[in-house]
Structure formats: C-alpha cells, structure tokens
Amino acid sequence: MVDQTPGTNPPVDFRTDPSRYKHWKLSIDGAVATLAMDVREDGGLRPGYELKLNSYDLGVDIELYDAVQRLRFEHPEVGAVIVTSGKERVFCAGANIRMLGQSSHGFKVNFCKFTNETRNGMEEASAESGQTYLTMVNGPCAGGGYELALATDWIVMADDGNTSVSLPEVPLLAVLPGTGGLTRLIDKRHVRHDRADFFSTTEEGVKGKRAVEWGLVDEVVPRTKLEAAAKARAAERAARTDRPRDGRGISLPPLERTIEGDTLRYTHVTCAIDRARGLAEITVAGPATAPPADAAGVHAAGAAFWPLALARELDDLILHLRTNEEEIGLWVVKTTGDADRVEAYDRVLADHGSDWLVREVRLFLRRVFKRLDVSSRSIFAIIEPGSCFAGTLLELALATDRSYMLDGTLEGRDDPAPALRLTTMNFGAYPMVNGLTRLATRFLGEPARVDDLKRRLGEDLDASAAAEAGLVTFTPDDIDWDDEIRVAVEERTAFSPDALTGMEASLRFGGPETLESKIFARLSAWQNWIFQRPNAVGPKGALQLYGTGQRSDFDRRRV
Amino acid sequence: MVDQTPGTNPPVDFRTDPSRYKHWKLSIDGAVATLAMDVREDGGLRPGYELKLNSYDLGVDIELYDAVQRLRFEHPEVGAVIVTSGKERVFCAGANIRMLGQSSHGFKVNFCKFTNETRNGMEEASAESGQTYLTMVNGPCAGGGYELALATDWIVMADDGNTSVSLPEVPLLAVLPGTGGLTRLIDKRHVRHDRADFFSTTEEGVKGKRAVEWGLVDEVVPRTKLEAAAKARAAERAARTDRPRDGRGISLPPLERTIEGDTLRYTHVTCAIDRARGLAEITVAGPATAPPADAAGVHAAGAAFWPLALARELDDLILHLRTNEEEIGLWVVKTTGDADRVEAYDRVLADHGSDWLVREVRLFLRRVFKRLDVSSRSIFAIIEPGSCFAGTLLELALATDRSYMLDGTLEGRDDPAPALRLTTMNFGAYPMVNGLTRLATRFLGEPARVDDLKRRLGEDLDASAAAEAGLVTFTPDDIDWDDEIRVAVEERTAFSPDALTGMEASLRFGGPETLESKIFARLSAWQNWIFQRPNAVGPKGALQLYGTGQRSDFDRRRV
C-alpha cells in the first residue's frame, strides 16, 4: 500500500501547462473549445494504481484546473466549452478507487476539496465570465464523472444502450458522491428528492428519456447526432457571450518560485515555515510600481499585472501548503507595501471592471480568497508597522479567523503606526462562498455598519479607529504586542487540528447558504465523516474491498 | 468502561412526568415559570459516571424535554419561562464528559440530536407559541450549559467574579460545541466571527461587560439584582403573549404502550420490527371517530384528541427506535383509516388554528414530522389498498425518502385501489427545518406545481394521478408490486448505514437554510466527524484523557 500522505512522497506541484498534459486534450474551434478527457492509464500521480476507464486522480484534476484557468485568460474568443471524453467507450468512471483506497484520510479530503473548487470555478465561468461549460456524454458517466457533468450548464447525452449517468458511490463504495454531486442534484438541477434517492442508490444509473424526465441530463440524442447537438448548444451559448470574439488573450507563463530550506519565494509573496512552532508566515507585498493608466495598459502588462501575479502566487502557495504541509496548522498573514499604490490598483480594477481581462483578474482574486476561506488551517492576520492592509489586501485580514493590530509604534523602530484602508473593492468585488462580502458577513447582525464604512473609503484607520469600526479583533500596544501574539500562537497550535477544522468551518460562513457553501460545509462534512467510518475505510470496508470480489460485512448500527 | 450502546443496557424510556423528575424543579408564579436545573450527581441514566457540577446526560435531557412539552400543553397561563440553576455555585458544566467518553459513537451522535431538537423546540415556543424562554445565569455556564442558554431569547448573567459563559469544548476536549452552540453564536446572536473564534478557544470564557459587548449575553447585573432582573424581563415578555392568562391546560397522562416480542402498540400507532430483514413497519391509524365540532370540543377531548394522541405516540416511537433499535435501518410507513375523517380533523386544525391548544397540537405535529425528517434511518412509504394518506397523514409519505403506491387493486382482495388526498394542512402547517413545506421542498424547481396542487384539495388521487402530480415515486401494478418492494427493501438494508445517513441528510433538505437546518446538517456533520477522530476519541484522545491529568499528543496533520 502506497501512502498518499505527503511527506512519504515527493511534494505535489500544481503548476503545469498544456505542453505537459497527459490526460486532457484542449482544442479550439472559433468560439467553442473542447476539453476531451483521455486519461493515460499509466499516468497516475503516484505508483500503485492504474487510471482505468478514464478515472481520475489529483494529477488529472490539476491539468483540468490549469486548462480551465488558461481558457479564461488566454482565450477571450472562447464563449463555450464542451467537456467530453476522448475514449471510445466510456465518458468517465469517476475518481480512481484504488487511489482513494490507498490514500490517507487527509489526502482524500484535500483531493475532494480541490476537485470541488475547480468545479465551482467552472460554474463561475459559466455565470460570470461569459464562458459557458457544457457536457457531451458519449459513454458511461459515473460517480465523479457525472459530478463533473453536473458542474456544467448543459448536459447532452447519447441515447444508446451503453451510455448512462450514475452515482454508484453509495451502493458500490459506501461513500458519498461528495464532490458536489448530491448537492447539485437537489439544489442546482432540482431533481426531486425521492428520484435522487433512487438514482443515488442504483449502480447502473439512468439513461435515455428517463434521465431527461428526471432532470439528470438536459437532452438525449442518437449517438450519430451527439456531436452536432453538443456543438449547436455550445454555439448558441457562445453567441450570447460578452467576451470579445476578436480579443487577444494574455499568456500565463510558468510561475516562478524558489524553495530554499523552509522558505518559499515568489515575486510578491513569501512564505516562511517555522516547523518548531507549526506555523507558516505568509507575507504579501503590495505593488512595486504605479498601475497601468487604463485597460490597454493592463493587457500590455499581462501576467505581470500586480493583482494577477498576486492571485497566481497566492493560489499556488495555498495549494502547496494544503497538500504538502499538512502539519503546518496556522497561517500567519502579513503584508508590506504602500497603501496609496494598492488603492490606485484597486481603482483600475473598479474603473475597468467591464473589460474582460480586468474582470478575469477580479474573479481570479475572488476565487483565491474563497480558497483561503475554505482552507482547513487557522489563519491569523498580524497588522504591524510597515504593513499594507488596504483594499484588495485588506480582504486577507478580513478572511482570517482573527487579527492583531498594533496600537501605535514599536519602541526602537522608525516605522509609523499601522493603518487599514478600505477601497470600493471591499464592498462587492470579492463575495465569499455564502454570497456575501466579507464585510457583510462580519456584520451579519448590523448591516448598517457596512454602510457606515462606505463613507470612510480611502481613510487611514489606525488601531483605535479600526477597532471601533469592528475591523480588527485585538489591538495590543507595544508593551503587550509580542506576548499577546506569542501566547495566541502557542495556544492555537496546541489545540486539536480536527476540532479547529470543524470550528472554523462553522464560524466562517454565517448568513445565507449557496450551492457552494452547501457543498463545502455540508456535503464535505458528511463525506469527511464517512471517510472515517470502518464501513467505508476499515480493513473490511467497501472502499478497501472494491474489486477484490469480497463483500463488506457492514456494522449495521445507524448513527 | 460501561458501553452506552443500547443492547448492552436496558432500553431508554423517554416517558416521564414531573413526579419522577430527579434533575429539574418546575415552579410557576402566575405567567412566569421557572425551570431550575438541579442535577442529582448519582442520578445518571447509566452507571459509570457522576453528574458533577450540574452536568447532564440523556436522562437529564429527557426530563427537560418533558417539562418543555408540559409547559406548552398544561400551562396556557405561562407566557415566559426562566431557565436557571438550582445550585449555589454553578449554572451548568455542560454534557457530562465521562458519560461521553464511555459512550459509543452512535449514542453520542443520537444524544446530541435529541438535545438539539429540544432546544429547537424551546425556540419554537418563544417564536410561535407565546411562551418565551429566558436564561438567568447564576454561576459558571460552560459548554452545553451555555448552548442551552443560547437556545433562549434573553440571557441575563450575574456580574460577579465567578460567573462567566464559555465554550471550552475545543481547548479542553478536542470536540465541538455541537449542540447548536457555534451556529447560534454566528447566525442567531450574530457574534462577530473573530470574537466567536477567540471565545470558542478560551477555556475560562468571557464575563461581565465584555460578554454583553460581544453579544454573548444580553445583560449583566449585580448578583443581588439578578433574580429581580430576570423576573422583570420575563414579566415583560409574558405581558406580550397571546396565550390565555386564565385558560385551563389539558393534562398529558402517561402514554400507554405495550411491547410484545418485536411489536410495539400504542392506541393509533403500531410498530412491527422484522429483525431478519432489518426493518420496522410503522402503521398509523386514522381517527376512529368524527372530530369535535369546535375548539371547546378539542379542549374537552384533551390528550385523547386524535391529532394530539397521534403526535405523542409517533414522537415516542421515533425516539424509541432511534435510541433502542440502532440496527433497524429502514422504517416502512403505512397508514389505515378513512380519508374523509382525517380531512374533517384537518379542517378543525385549520379552522381553529388561533385557539392556543389547537395551535399547540399543530406545532407538536410539526415537530414530530421534523424529528422524522432528521432521523438517520431510511424511510419508505407503502401506499396500498386500505391506506389513508390524506392531509396530515400524507405528510408522512412526503417525509419519506421514496414511496411506492399500488396502481389499482390486488388480485384476490376486496379493498379498493389506494388514493392520496391533499388538505389545506399540506400547504403551510408543517414546514420542515429548511422553512419550506414538504411540497415546496419537493418541487423546488417548479413552485407552480404547488399552486396547481392547491386546486386539487380534497380530490382522491389514484396512482396515475398521484404520479402525474409528482406526489409518489413509483406506482407498480399488481403484477410487480410484491417483487418491486421486496427488491427495494433488500437492496436498501444491504447498503452501508453510514453512506445512507450522509446521503439522506444531503438529499432531504434542499433549498434555503435556517438556524435549524444549519445545526442539523452542518454542525452535526462536523461533530460526527470529530467524534470519530483519534484526536478526540482515540485511547490518547482528549475526550478520553479528560480529568486524568494526562495530555493528548495530537496527530498534528490538518485535514
């Protein structure tokens, strides 16, 4: 048994590009792109399993994520994306069972989270980016394969004897369709719950007209007409996009980073891991230069445009820490830089928000902040002299579990007292998975406070003003600063990581629920539970015995 | 170590009355009742632990539930209820840790569910029954003790050196405040999430003015003025009630039931357990006589009023099955009786809904149906000749995971083909925990279908009409009936119970979320997960080591 736990394997690198894809084929025909899944059986991320029947592991998902990102930035001309299979006789069999069976609990949970995030990103592209995803089901589409289809906005399926959609996790594996499947059946496609119940307990799935009648797919057509039907639907959607048909994309060059000992360095982001204390100190630098004057300037800057570079770097860092540094349970976020310059960049993002590229940059930042929100790590912000928590960077502090802001200056240092600054970007640009801004979530019971804050745009708020405005948790002065933070860090890293994960997931997302918040908060929690249960993962559990011909002897007690 | 698992202990009986209370003192002074928690240390439900510091176990909670029920039915004159402690130096230390430490996973989860339901019922009383709950915190109020306070509508706390509120589960026990605590902090009291984060990781809790400023309690007063303050607040609320000051309550006599072998019998409800097949067949009988003509008749009938008797019997049965029959994973619901008569009863419930007692009966039925919804059992409805799924009883079928309705008659039997009947009670009387009716939840994506159904009140819908209306899942005819049900039952009871629990919890509650649904679906799922984690329940887990002086050595990997 190969342990998927990082530490026993080389670290996972989330950086890739189409020239290195093993499992996906991206082709573009005018305004319609096709993403064909064609998994290489021997191309698993780890040894110990074969990716049969177009099943996937984290490596397959990393390529999908990269393709989805590139389609948004590199291909403004694409208004619709058809997801399909490159195999003759199967669409996708879902997540690879042997890979799951040999993975640690943490690896499985983290893998599902990343998969969910990518699928939510596809839905965001459909809803907000004018790049609509559709699925062409050209063979059996099971489990995670159907969950991938559910994340698209239109599902067309071949009406033949071989092709069906199914969620066989419960009957075959004793786990859940936990990467969004159950939630999307009910809350996205509004499949009637009793039909969803039957469907989710039926290995062989549903095909043909019943699949349409029950709302599991949108249309079925004869196999011979499948491709034409999918292309026609895609063309309809592409015709409605607001993306520029003749726009030129920007390229996303390889992300540069260095790892020296326990320090990771990107251009704007640095991360220093302190293993003895169990924490990672993440420092984000504001822009080094003034922003471009207009949207054309943003296009010219491309991937070097500070907000985009920042998003890419933070995104990679979060994924790296989550997957490769499981024992680092506390992330301490700091910033440096010049608030005026961040405010100037925020003005560009706000003023040119209708430009397709500027919009993509904002949406990417939104996804990165969401990724931070759903990370199962404690997150503290340290707001000290020299920091730059302004506008877009202030979102980082608002995303933390708590923040410490120095009241005044530090003895023996010249830096002025720290200040926070609000910009328009704090009031709607980056909603959380609950659909609310971080400020609205913060003041759930007092929405008027958010309105009050709108009148303080651009003001420098020192510690006492920030505390009064409710923007920071604690504001120790010079005398208490070091001790208070030291004690908070020591206590935090001594608590049970599991209890913290459950607590943080329960406290971070107040207020309304969305498809996304239901997936992360409800479905994931149930999946995590089941991934611990002997009936699934014990030596005689269904996930372990799958494919051996042996049957599980379940503990029949209901919980 | 005493195993709390039923089977190794005598079954738990949920029936009690004030003459048998060991742990609570109920006193009534005009319109204000006081429920004082005064737990008998040696009065635990099971051997192996002492209920020190006013900590509670399931037995304490059963008495609280009984008291809350009786206050509603037996005391119309009570408009406000003060929850407090009968001890000198402590309010409540929460759920008993030793009891939790020696309980099976299933027992812990089920105990938390029942506790949550009782607390939700207190909130329902405050919101809809004109009987508002308040808390007088007269000593340290920790963990489940504070969660109990959070379920009331006003918390007044003594401002002294000894009294604080706290949620020490995470720092002390490596579990969550999972009986509503975290959810109520954020979504009911709107405590800012960073303050909630600090509060939930601080053993010693928060007291005095900070507790008010952070929204953890509503007011603090000097110890000497505590009782007067609580009584004044209670009197204010009692003055606003619409309950009749001089009304006469009805009494709730001991519920009669017999258990013979594997059959439980109440007056209107019978349950036959088939251990070989792993199922319980629950048969609910419609009313034997015509309803009272008016509200006065309902009062005269008292606990014998069919809908109330039905609610009490079903409630007891569900609690019994959940706690004492863990291995019976499938509940098959049937009905018998006369649809006209059920419709007549429903008319009384609808027409006299403003009468306090009729309202209480409806609200009780609503709570019972909700208890069914959140039960971790698969539930099927069998709709056959002789059945009576009309109005209030139709809710039972709508609450199931799926339903089978015979299309036509059975060969060799005289009973006519079965029919369903809608009454006004299906359109708003019994909302689920998501705040929607079962019909609205069923047709989430097609709300117009619910409006269409309103035009079919009182109609007898045969299998094909019911299927077309979307009210049933499958409608086999005579030829397929037995086989189709047999196969469905055999398959269902062969699946992993855990996977079914997670699946059903994910499919049953589409649409909006409420405090209640967040507690059951999100917080409970996280708590279930943590209750499986070695860091909490392993031999070196915090829950096991609590009180031994030993420290847990946590697996530091984040999940």
From B409, B337, B332, select the one nearest B372 (Cα to Cα): B332
pLDDT, tens digit, 9 for 90 and up, residues B113-153: 999 999 999 999 999 999 999 999 999 999 999 999 999 99
Compute the distance between CA of residue B49 and CA of residue B57 in angstroms, rounded to an integer.
10
Contact B529 A502 (CB under 8 A): yes
B117 CB-near residues (< 8 Å, 6+ apart) = B367, B370, B371, B374
DSSP A53: G
pLDDT, tens digit, 9 for 90 and up, residues B239-248: 999 999 999 9
Beta bridge partners of A26: A35
Nearest chain B Cα to A185, which residue?
B507
Nearest chain A Cα to B201, which residue?
A492
Return the sign of the alpha-carbon dihedral for residues B234, B237, B241, B244.
positive
How long is chain A? 559
- Tell me how close the Cα of A194 comes to any Cα of chain B, in angstroms: 5
Do residues B394 and B426 lie in contact, with contact meaning Cβ atoms separated by under 8 Å?
A: yes
Q: How many helices (H) and strands (E) does chain B have?
A: 22, 19
**Residue A378: pLDDT above 60?**
yes
Q: DSSP assignment of B345-407, as one string? A: HHHHHHHTTTSHHHHHHHHHHHHHHHHHHT-SSEEEEEE-TT--EEGGGHHHHHHSSEEEE-B
| Section A429-444 average pLDDT | 97
Q: What is the pLDDT of residue A349?
A: 98
Assign B80 to helix, strand or coil.
strand
Beta strands in A87-192 (DSSP E): 94-95, 132-137, 141-142, 155-158, 165-166
Enumerate the active-site residues of B: 147, 169
> What are the chain B neighbours of A186 within 8 Å (beta carbons)?
444, 506-507, 510
| Section A485-502 average pLDDT | 96
Point out the least confidently predicted range of A361-365, B9-13, B65-69: B9-13
- Tell me how close the Cα of B229 comes to any Cα of chain A, in angstroms: 25
Q: For residue B46, what are the CA distances in angstroms to A557, B63, B94, B480?
A: 20, 15, 17, 48
**Residue B462: pLDDT above 50?**
yes
Return the sign of the alpha-carbon dihedral for residues B11, B16, B21, B24.
positive
Catalytic residue among A117, A147, A395, A516: A147
Assign A454 to helix, strand or coil.
helix
pLDDT, tens digit, 9 for 90 and up, residues A298-309: 999 999 999 999
Average pLDDT across chain A, whole number: 96
Q: What is the pLDDT of residue B370?
A: 98
Report the alpha-carbon angle B384-B387-B389, nearest 5: 110
Q: Out of A189, A201, A502, whose CB is closest to B530?
A: A502
A contact test, residue of B325, B496, B520 with most A CBs within 10 A: B496
Q: What is the pLDDT of residue A61?
A: 98
**Number of alpha carbons in the 13 Å side-chain half-sphere of residue B545:** 18
Average pLDDT across chain B, whole number: 96
> What are the chain B neighbours of A495 within 8 Å (beta carbons)?
170-171, 174, 201, 554
pLDDT, tens digit, 9 for 90 and up, residues B40-74: 999 999 999 999 999 999 999 999 999 999 999 99
Compute the distance between CA of residue A542 and CA of residue A536 in angstroms, rounded to an integer.
5
Q: What is the pLDDT of residue B432?
A: 97
> What are the chain A neighbours of B523 within 8 Å (beta carbons)?
506
Q: Out of B401, B445, B557, whose CB is closest to A194?
A: B401
Provide the pairing of β-strand A279-285 with B24-29: unpaired
- Two tokens, residue A185: 């059946």
Contact A376 B558 (CB under 8 A): yes
Cα A381 to the chain's mean position, in Å?
21
B contact test, residue of A111, A113, A496 with most B CBs within 10 A: A496
Compute the distance between CA of residue A90 and CA of residue A81 in angstroms, rounded to an integer.
20
Q: For residue A139, what are the CA distances in angstroms to A42, A146, A185, A229, B481?
A: 21, 11, 20, 15, 33
Using CB atoms within 10 A of its CB, is residue B293 exposed (0-12), middle (13-18) or buried (19+)? Answer: exposed
Do residues B97 and B55 lie in contact, with contact meaning Cβ atoms separated by under 8 Å?
A: yes
A contact test, residue of B434, B491, B503, B551 with most A CBs within 10 A: B503
From B140, B171, B164, select the one nearest B216 (Cα to Cα): B164
Do residues A213 and A195 lie in contact, with contact meaning Cβ atoms separated by under 8 Å?
A: no
ipTM value of the model? Answer: 0.95
Contact B507 A192 (CB under 8 A): no
Do residues B372 and B379 lie in contact, with contact meaning Cβ atoms separated by under 8 Å?
A: yes
Compute the distance between CA of residue A376 and CA of residue A503 in angstroms, rounded to an integer.
10
> What are the chain A neighbours of B401 within 8 Å (beta carbons)?
193-194, 197
> What are the chain A neighbours of B186 within 8 Å (beta carbons)?
444, 506-507, 510
| Section A223-229 average pLDDT | 98
Q: How many CB atoms lie within 10 A of CB B224?
A: 9
> What are the chain A neighbours of B446 within 8 Å (beta carbons)?
190
pLDDT, tens digit, 9 for 90 and up, residues B202-222: 999 999 999 999 999 999 999
From B485, B505, B208, B355, select the one nearest A522 (Cα to Cα): B505
Q: What is the pLDDT of residue B315?
A: 98
Phi, psi of B330 (to 5 degrees): -125, 125
Q: What is the pLDDT of residue B8?
A: 63
- Tell me how close the Cα of A252 comes to any Cα of chain B, in angstroms: 31
Point out the least confidently predicted range of A103-112, A145-154, A489-498, B546-555: B546-555
pLDDT, tens digit, 9 for 90 and up, residues A177-211: 989 999 999 999 999 999 999 999 999 999 999 99
DSSP B188: I
Using CB atoms within 10 A of its CB, is residue A254 exposed (0-12), middle (13-18) or buried (19+)? Answer: exposed
Q: For residue A214, what are the CA distances in angstroms to A193, A200, A240, B73?
A: 10, 13, 27, 44
- Tell me how close the Cα of B444 comes to any Cα of chain A, in angstroms: 6
Max CA separation in chain A (angstroms): 78
Catalytic residue among A63, A77, A117, A169: A169
Contact B499 A176 (CB under 8 A): yes
- Tell me how close the Cα of B510 comes to any Cα of chain A, in angstroms: 6
**Residue B363: pLDDT above 50?**
yes
**Residue A5: pLDDT above 70?**
no
> What are the chain B neighbours of A492 within 8 Å (beta carbons)?
201
A459 CB-near residues (< 8 Å, 6+ apart) = A421, A422, A465
Provide the pairing of β-strand B55-56 with B94-95: parallel
Q: DSSP assignment of B195-214, as one string? A: HHHHHTT-TT-B-HHHHHHT
Do residues A66 and A135 lie in contact, with contact meaning Cβ atoms separated by under 8 Å?
A: no
Q: Out of A328, A442, A525, whose CB is closest to B525?
A: A525
pLDDT, tens digit, 9 for 90 and up, residues A329-342: 999 999 999 999 99
Do residues A196 and B445 lie in contact, with contact meaning Cβ atoms separated by under 8 Å?
A: no
Do residues B115 and B138 lie in contact, with contact meaning Cβ atoms separated by under 8 Å?
A: no
Q: What is the pLDDT of residue A8?
A: 63
Q: How many CB atoms lie within 10 A of CB B263?
A: 12
Q: At what angle do helices A105-128 and A306-324 cross, to 10 degrees?
A: 150
> What are the chain B neighbours of A446 within 8 Å (beta carbons)?
190
Phi, psi of B420 (to 5 degrees): -105, 155
Compute the distance between CA of residue B310 and CA of residue B307 in angstroms, rounded to an integer.
5
Contact B495 A530 (CB under 8 A): no
From A505, A444, A536, A526, select the one nearest B520 (Cα to Cα): A526
Contact B174 A496 (CB under 8 A): yes
Compute the distance between CA of residue B534 and CA of residue A217 in angstroms, rounded to an integer.
41
**Number of alpha carbons in the 13 Å side-chain half-sphere of residue B370:** 27
Q: For residue B514, what are the CA distances in angstroms to B108, B471, B517?
A: 24, 25, 5
pLDDT-derived band at A1 (thresholds 50, 70, 90) equals: very low
From B417, B416, B284, select the one nearest B342 (Cα to Cα): B284
A482 CB-near residues (< 8 Å, 6+ apart) = none
| Section B427-441 average pLDDT | 97
Place of tokens 């005064």: B38
**Residue A21: pLDDT above 70?**
yes
Q: What is the pLDDT of residue A2?
A: 43
- Two tokens, residue B237: 């609320």
Contact A497 B201 (CB under 8 A): no
- Tell me how close the Cα of A530 comes to any Cα of chain B, in angstroms: 6
B contact test, residue of A322, A503, A516 with most B CBs within 10 A: A503
How far from each other are the two terminal CA atoms of chain A, in whole angstroms?
30
Nearest chain A Cα to B493, which residue?
A556
Number of A–B residue contacts, CB under 8 Å: 279
Contact B176 A505 (CB under 8 A): no
DSSP B281: E
Q: For residue A74, what are the CA distances in angstroms to A47, A120, A302?
A: 33, 20, 10
- Tell me how close the Cα of B333 comes to any Cα of chain A, in angstroms: 15
pTM confidence score: 0.96
Q: DSSP assignment of B514-547, as one string? A: -HHHIIIIIIHHHHHHHTT-HHHHSTTSHHHHTT
